[in-house]
Amino acid sequence: MPMQFADAGPEALPIYLVDSDAPEVILGEMAQDLADWAAFNGFRGQLGRSLVLPSRAGALIGIGTANGRARTRFAVGAAIAKLPDALFQIVNPPPPGADLDEIAMGYLLSQYRFDRYRDQPKPKARLVAPEGIDTPRLSQIATSEALTRDLINTPAEDMGPDALEAAIADLAAQFGAQVASIIGDDLLAQNFPLIHTVGRAAARTPRLVEMTWGETGPKVTLVGKGVCFDTGGLNLKPGASMGLMKKDMGGAANVVGLARMIMASGLSCRLRVLIPAVENNVAGNSFRPGDIFTARNGLTVEINNTDAEGRLVLADALALASETPPDLLICMATLTGAARVAVGPDIAPFYTDDDSFADTVMQAAAQTADPVWRLPFHEPYEAMIEPGIADLDNAPSGGMAGSITAALFLRRFANVPRFAHFDVYGWQRSAAPGRPKGGVGQGIRALFHALPEILHP
């Protein structure tokens, strides 16, 4: 559903943003009865707290302290979304250090509900777009992130490789993009052996989905891991680890959301999206530990764990992307638990050899409340992914530096000057402002904000 603001109207009730470092700036200027009402309710501008004023005099929203705002993003926008059923409008500028874009985005993202299988109550408060923001842009960003969330939240029964391709085709139709796919044994005929290998045991056939859009500008290729469900293969996951594996296509979902942002904005570029879409299942023809396969680019890969399948399907897609080198190649994947150990579920670590790209993305992440963190392509660890019997090992033993070794593995297939890999989690473990429990976009708002500077310095 579109995430949007309400149209302005004379009936709009005022919202006053109150800074708890200086609540008197607002409360001291109010009518005495309203100030008494705030005092009676203990309202002093605490972050994310709201107070509806009597007699339709509007509402107070606390924006907290400068230090507190850094700890909880989207709290102000989420508080606005929880106001009663009425039209509201922010009437005072946010105090120094408060970001109006972040407040507006928090409100938009708080509208999201995953209601495919059950009706979910939606926010009743309607907010007029605050003055000074780029309303269409923020609405398109939030709507694109909602698409990412929907894709991740949909169970594998309804979001297999075929359904993921259909969702991409629907998106392409909205923006005049083109979609093509290579399915089943045609993957072998057209030299995508690793995608076929991972997906061959599943009832729903593996495929490589390609979407292209734009005729001018720099070439941008986005590659997303589309493992629609991951049992672990013959290295079967325990039940507790399998419960969230509908989200193992979170890299693809994030790439699709980013692609929607790019197309909706009309960014000057030639966009290519590559999604290897598979299920990693168990059957008589499952691939096995100890097997060795030759990837699209000719490198041989020894399989030491069938549960390290994401880097295999990405390898073929990255090799294809490199055959017509883009100006920028970005890979996104729910790839390793090691990334979560390193930086936790909120932060998307990324890898690149391009310092300028990294600096621009890090700055954009701070500006968009979309946290990412750069980790290193640490050259001495290259030996860890070289088993000797084959060119590469898909799952080095020892358990050390798992996210880094996975990134180094992928880099072997990305033969382009400008490459970045994002190891995302794609899941909100518990509800937070603007982010209900479930699928979530990570890094895509930061990337979208950074792309114009990266592509057109």
What are the phi and psi torsion angles at 208 (to 5°)?
-115, 120
What are the phi and psi torsion angles at 328 (to 5°)?
-150, 130
**Residues in contact with 386: Cβ distance below 8 Å, sequence separation at least 6, in sequence order:** 392, 393
- Helix residue ranges per DSSP H, 204-307: 239-242, 250-265
> Which among 111, 52, 41, 44 has a CA at the least distance from the CA of 77?
111
The CA distances from residue 223 to 104, 173, 201, in Å, are 30, 20, 23
**What span, in angstroms and rounded, lies between the C-alpha atoms of 109 and 139?**
9
Q: Hey, how many other C-beta atoms are within 10 angstroms of the C-beta on 176? A: 9
Active-site annotation holds for 445: no
Tell me which of 207, 219, 311, 435 is the catalytic residue: 311
Active-site annotation holds for 237: yes
The CA distances from residue 300 to 294, 377, 390, in Å, are 4, 21, 5
The pairing of beta strand 419-423 with beta strand 348-352: antiparallel
Q: Hey, how many other C-beta atoms are within 10 angstroms of the C-beta on 365? A: 22
Burial 307-345 (b: 16+ CB within 10 A, else e): bbbbbbbbbbbbbbbbeeebbbbbbbbbbbebbbebbeb
Tell me which of 82, 113, 137, 237 is the catalytic residue: 237
**Residues in contact with 11: Cβ distance below 8 Å, sequence separation at least 6, in sequence order:** 86, 87
The beta strands (E) that lie in 207-364 are given as: 207-213, 219-224, 226-230, 270-280, 292-294, 300-302, 328-333, 348-352
Catalytic residues: 237, 311
